[in-house]
């Protein structure tokens, strides 16, 4: 039987500045780590959680001085048991490329989801909370696809999380995101920009497909050729917006799909690259620049290309010169 314990009686918690502006449901999800979200929303619907003795909706924004009534709840451990963490999860600490008192940047390996979900027992955030118990308030600032490697930014405290998420929402260049991708073909331009609007479409498997449509969300991607091979090109990619699957959909839209992309890519091209060792999506978040949440500087972090992708490029170079 899972190790559980019960909060024996209601608790009253006064909200401080660190939780100012946070949604009530997100506050409870953080407080009740190990409790299913469905149960948290159930106790909210029943009115078991009170703010200043009154009911509130899940979207209520907390204010300093609010008194939150926490009802008795059966809880499981707040992080996955070590046995649930794979060898790759346990090595995540070795992939930290930058950290200070406020932030942590991980060079996320491909194949690891950033958080739990369908068929995922533990993601990056759950594993790091288990591996780094000295950082109890660690939270994801943004997301990376499971199959994408590279810079993933996490906040170590609530103040930093709010500041960085606000920066990601801005459209004024506050956040600079650069990727490296191997794409099909030899583009006829050295630089180009794609501005096709994107919208999440039909579900395929357990993930939504993203489609190009005039009524979609604004999306801008800039591509720059870095190195040409026999029938593929290494490109640098700058994201000016942050839509789901943006690089992959925009690359495919202009006829240069990302290598190893089973969702939007070219099956024949992907098969052709297997003999040179490509068995994953060739998309890597190589550089991230962001306004530091507590210092008046723009912090730049670089994540080296993984060895398996570097090896693919070396084999393509040999193949091209033969």
Say whether both 189 and 263 belong to one domain. yes
Domain end (from 141, 164, 187): 164
**Closest by Cα among 303, 310, 309 to 144:** 303
- Cβ density class 91-102: b for 16+ within 10 Å, e for less: ebeebebbeeeb
Angstrom distances, CA of residue 61 to CA of 26, 50, 57: 10, 13, 9
Say whether both 28 and 57 belong to one domain. yes
Residues of the chain with pLDDT under 50: 1-5, 78-83
**C-alpha–C-alpha distance, residues 67 and 81, integer Å:** 32
Residue 49 belongs to domain spanning = 5-75
What pLDDT does 36 receive? 78
Say whether both 271 and 200 belong to one domain. yes
Residue 115 in contact with residue 140, Cβ under 8 Å?
yes
Say whether both 15 and 95 belong to one domain. no
Say whether both 200 and 296 belong to one domain. yes
Say whether both 54 and 191 belong to one domain. no
What pLDDT does 320 receive? 92
Say whether both 129 and 218 belong to one domain. no
**Closest by Cα among 111, 104, 93, 90 to 284:** 111
Say whether both 222 and 308 belong to one domain. yes
Say whether both 46 and 91 belong to one domain. no
Domain end (from 16, 46, 75): 75
Say whether both 159 and 286 belong to one domain. no
What pLDDT does 167 receive? 93
Give the chain's domain count: 3
Per-residue tokens: 186 = 């030899």
Give the catalytic positions in this structure: 145
CATH of the domain at 254: 3.30.2350.10
pLDDT, tens only, 196-222: 999 988 666 666 789 999 999 999 999
Give me the residues paired with residue 96 across strands: 106
Say whether both 262 and 133 belong to one domain. no
What pLDDT does 119 receive? 58
**Closest by Cα among 246, 254, 102 to 177:** 246
Say whether both 303 and 180 belong to one domain. yes
Q: Map residue 224 onto helix, strand or coil.
A: strand
CATH of the domain at 38: 3.10.290.10
Domain end (from 112, 130, 164): 164
Residue 56 in contact with residue 24, Cβ under 8 Å?
yes
């Amino acid at each position: 039987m899972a190790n559980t314990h019960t909060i024996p009686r209601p608790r009253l918690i006064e909200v401080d500045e660190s939780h100012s502006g946070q949604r009530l449901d997100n506050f409870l999800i953080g407080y009740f780590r190990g409790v299913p979200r469905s149960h948290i929303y159930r106790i909210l619907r029943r009115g078991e959680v009170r703010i200043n003795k009154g009911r509130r909706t899940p979207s209520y924004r907390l204010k300093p001085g609010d008194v939150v009534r926490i009802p008795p709840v059966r809880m499981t451990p707040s992080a996955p048991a070590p046995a649930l963490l794979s060898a790759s999860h346990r090595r995540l600490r070795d992939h930290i490329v930058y950290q200070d008192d406020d932030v942590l940047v991980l060079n996320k390996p491909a194949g690891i989801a950033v958080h739990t979900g369908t068929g995922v027992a533990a993601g990056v955030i759950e594993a790091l909370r288990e591996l780094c118990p000295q950082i109890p308030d660690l939270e994801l600032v943004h997301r990376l696809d499971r199959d994408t490697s590279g810079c993933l930014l996490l906040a170590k405290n609530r103040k930093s999380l709010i500041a960085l998420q606000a920066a990601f929402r801005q459209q004024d260049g506050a956040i600079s995101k650069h990727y490296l991708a191997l794409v099909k073909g030899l583009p006829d331009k050295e630089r180009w920009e794609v501005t096709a609007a994107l919208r999440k479409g039909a579900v395929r498997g357990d993930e939504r497909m993203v489609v190009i449509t005039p009524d979609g969300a604004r999306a801008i991607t800039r591509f720059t050729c870095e190195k040409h091979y026999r029938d593929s090109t290494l490109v640098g990619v700058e994201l000016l917006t942050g839509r789901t699957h943006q690089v992959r959909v925009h690359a495919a839209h202009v006829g240069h799909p990302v290598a190893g992309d089973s969702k939007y890519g070219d099956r024949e091209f992907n098969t052709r690259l297997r003999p040179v060792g490509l068995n994953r999506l060739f998309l890597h978040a190589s550089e991230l620049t962001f306004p530091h949440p507590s210092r008046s500087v723009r912090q730049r972090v670089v994540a080296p290309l993984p060895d398996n992708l570097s090896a693919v490029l070396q084999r393509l170079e040999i193949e091209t010169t033969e």
